[in-house]
Amino acid sequence: MPPALQPGDIRRTALPDIRLRAPDRPGRYRVQLIVVDHLGRESAPAVLRLTVVPGPGWWPRFWDRLGRWKR
């Protein structure tokens, strides 16, 4: 798998294999995707706006598991 997306990334990927790995941290991301066909022609950049929500087991370091603020 490719490395996780980062804010502002520009990715070039070949058809038909378009695989993107979601960012490791929750938040809003804006990335550009450029698709390359088998002749090497590139598409116009497609701007993707992703919102990654926390999955099971992910906790920000300043909250505890009960949702209480940590100092």
CA–CA separation, 29 vs 50, rounded Å?
A: 5
Which tops the pLDDT comparison, 57 or 39? 39
Find, among 45, 38, 41, the residue nearest to 17 by Cα.
38
Lowest pLDDT segment from 1-5, 17-21, 66-70: 66-70
Q: Taking the complete model, does pTM exceed 0.75, yes or no? A: no
Quick one: tokens of 70? 């940590």
